[in-house]
């Protein structure tokens, strides 16, 4: 079912003829080989549908491009209609696909093949069944529902078309369901009976896929009308403005400022000339003699300015082009940009070193947007924590060495080096071991020890990172009057019952040695200093 704005191609006409011939042959009770030929038609229909969908996708992309070129307000009406048409068409196609799946579940034992893929005409089992498709589509009323859905789709789609074009678009829209239909004996019959009564399963599936293609063709036809409402003829707009589109509004000293000077809705076949003046906020026609001239090509003038010095720069200009009546028309443009020196600041947030084996919070800043920064930490891994923030982890093997952090910026596809900083990599120092939270040695009462019945480890006050240590094991030896008792091995940080009992029964001046204290953290496993206390 072709359209005036999207006429049938020879390929589409061939598909239609094949479908009619195969339907007629089915009426003559033809062989299974002929039934299998529906698979060829069905696959060809799907290819044709994909082609139309590709064309429609380009139409939607064109509208998005026009929003960027002309401004959202200029194409809002067309864009709103296009989005409504896309949803309307997608909903209709989804309805037909679900209807086809439901029909295959009823007529062919399921809509998925042995490989759990959607069935095609080639992979159907009951291609030649007449009764079940008729029962499903006619007796159960699905054909009547499909007809109503098609009519509703056409009505809603036509509402999105320019009123003055609706009759011509309607004639080209296809999806006809209200025509006069006759059976083989010439008697009148309904659209439902004409298409789905006493029709084999293979033909019913192919017809539904053909309806999907017609929906996409109708969508394309309506899109043609919607797009035609967006004119690229400058002189039909209410207002026309010149635009300077820079690659970047921040330029590094020694580099170049680059921009495209265009008319918002431009024609690639129109020759334009641009004039610009540095340091100006405006440029009038009478001032063109003192301005720089740019000769355009393909509807665009390329502006390339050397970036010397630093600070904000600005310019203004005029675009000249020939109007349809032969007169010169001028459109103004202006822009500003900033030239900065290529510098960057890299700093560890808590220390002037990177500690091995733990995440080091690092911030990177530069006079460019954070998303344009490219930071390299050779030999280390860096996890982004937001704009310019990283957790940098250096392997233990790099302790005692240095790492050179480099920073660059991606400026419109061009990489600009900003600077580098060298960091020393240090091994995380050992934590300090304690009985309880703060007992490090000396004379202690039994009550004081039993009130703090565990070994702990923590970093010194000058270590600014939050690093937790877990006590894995330790050994406890009691020395009574110079004689060592057998050591007690303890797993974990808490005092064992044996240690508690020995402390409780210890006499004055008994020495208790806590040795071989092993702890672990993300920085690794360490053996800490011994702790020695004497019972008061």
| Per-residue pLDDT at 326 | 59
Q: Which tens digits make up the pLDDT trace of 230-272?
A: 754 433 434 456 667 776 666 666 677 777 786 656 566 667 8
Distance between CA atoms of 345 and 368, rounded to whole angstroms?
12
Inter-residue contact 300 to 262 (CB < 8 Å): yes
| Per-residue pLDDT at 5 | 45
Q: Considering only CA atoms, give the Rg of the chain.
A: 40
Element spanning 498, H or E: helix 497-505
| Per-residue pLDDT at 3 | 41
Distance between CA atoms of 309 and 384, rounded to whole angstroms?
34
Q: Is 27 helix (H, G, I), strand (E, B) or coil?
A: helix
Q: Where are the domains of the chain?
A: 10-230, 235-339, 345-426, 432-535
List phi, psi (to 5°) of 187.
-80, 150
Give the fold, CATH level 3, of 345-426.
Immunoglobulin-like (2.60.40)
| DSSP string for 71-133 | -HHHHHHHHHHHHHHHHHHHHHHHHHHHHHHHHHHHHSS-SB-TTSSB--TTT-S-TT--HHH
State which residues of the chain have pLDDT below 50.
1-6, 25-30, 232-239, 324
pTM to 2 decimal places: 0.42
List phi, psi (to 5°) of 399.
-60, 135
Place of tokens 């006759």: 182
| Per-residue pLDDT at 66 | 77
The two tokens of residue 173 are 């829209």
Distance between CA atoms of 350 and 329, rounded to whole angstroms?
61
| Per-residue pLDDT at 204 | 86
| Per-residue pLDDT at 351 | 66
Residues forming a β-bridge with 243 = 262
Q: Please state which CATH number belongs to domain 235-339.
A: 2.60.40.1930
Domain 345-426 in the same topology as domain 235-339: yes
């Amino acid at each position: 079912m072709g359209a005036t704005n999207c006429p049938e191609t020879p390929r589409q006409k061939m598909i239609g003829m094949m479908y009619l011939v195969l339907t007629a042959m089915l009426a003559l009770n033809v062989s299974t080989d002929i039934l299998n030929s529906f698979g060829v038609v069905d696959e060809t229909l799907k290819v044709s549908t994909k082609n139309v969908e590709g064309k429609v996708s380009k139409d939607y992309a064109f509208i998005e491009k026009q929003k960027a070129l002309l401004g959202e307000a200029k194409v809002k009406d067309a864009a709103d209609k296009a989005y409504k048409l896309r949803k309307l068409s997608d909903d209709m196609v989804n309805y037909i696909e679900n209807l086809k799946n439901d029909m295959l579940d009823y007529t062919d034992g399921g809509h998925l093949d042995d490989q759990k893929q959607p069935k095609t005409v080639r992979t159907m089992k009951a291609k030649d069944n007449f009764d079940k498709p008729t029962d499903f589509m006619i007796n159960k009323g699905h054909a009547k529902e499909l007809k109503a859905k098609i009519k509703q789709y056409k009505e809603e789609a036509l509402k999105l078309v320019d009123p003055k074009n609706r009759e011509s678009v309607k004639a080209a829209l296809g999806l006809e369901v209200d025509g006069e239909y006759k059976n083989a004996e010439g008697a009148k019959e309904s659209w439902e009976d004409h298409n789905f009564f006493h029709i084999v399963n293979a033909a019913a599936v192919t017809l539904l896929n053909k309806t999907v293609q017609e929906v996409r063709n109708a969508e394309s036809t309506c899109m043609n009308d919607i797009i035609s409402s967006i004119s690229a003829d400058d002189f039909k707009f209410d207002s026309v403005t010149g635009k300077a589109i820079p690659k970047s509004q921040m330029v590094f000293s020694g580099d170049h400022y680059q921009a495209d000077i265009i008319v918002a809705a431009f024609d690639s076949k129109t020759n334009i000339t641009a004039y610009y003046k540095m340091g100006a906020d405006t440029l009038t026609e009478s001032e063109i003699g003192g301005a720089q001239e740019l000769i355009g090509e393909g509807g665009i003038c390329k502006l390339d300015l050397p970036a010397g010095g630093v600070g904000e720069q600005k310019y203004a200009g005029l675009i000249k082009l020939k109007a349809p009546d032969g007169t010169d028309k001028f459109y103004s443009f202006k822009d500003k940009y900033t030239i900065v020196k290529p510098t960057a600041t890299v700093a560890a947030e808590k220390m002037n070193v990177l500690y091995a084996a733990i995440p080091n919070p690092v911030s990177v800043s530069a006079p460019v947007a954070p998303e344009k920064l490219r930071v390299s930490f050779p030999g280390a891994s860096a996890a982004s924590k937001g704009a310019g923030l990283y957790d940098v982890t250096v392997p233990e093997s790099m302790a005692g060495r240095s790492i050179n952090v480099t920073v660059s910026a991606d400026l419109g596809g061009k990489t600009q080096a900003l600077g580098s900083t060298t960091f020393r990599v240090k091994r995380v120092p050992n934590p300090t071991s304690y009985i309880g939270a703060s007992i490090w040695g000396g004379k202690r009462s039994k009550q004081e020890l039993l009130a703090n019945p565990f070994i702990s480890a923590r970093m010194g006050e000058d270590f600014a990172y939050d690093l937790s240590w877990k006590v894995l094991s330790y050994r406890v030896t009691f020395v009574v009057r110079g004689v060592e008792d057998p050591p007690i091995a303890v797993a974990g940080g808490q005092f064992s019952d044996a240690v508690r009992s020995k402390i409780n029964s210890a006499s004055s001046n008994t020495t208790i040695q806590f040795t071989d204290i092993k702890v672990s953290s993300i920085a690794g496993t360490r053996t800490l200093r011994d702790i020695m206390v004497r019972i008061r």
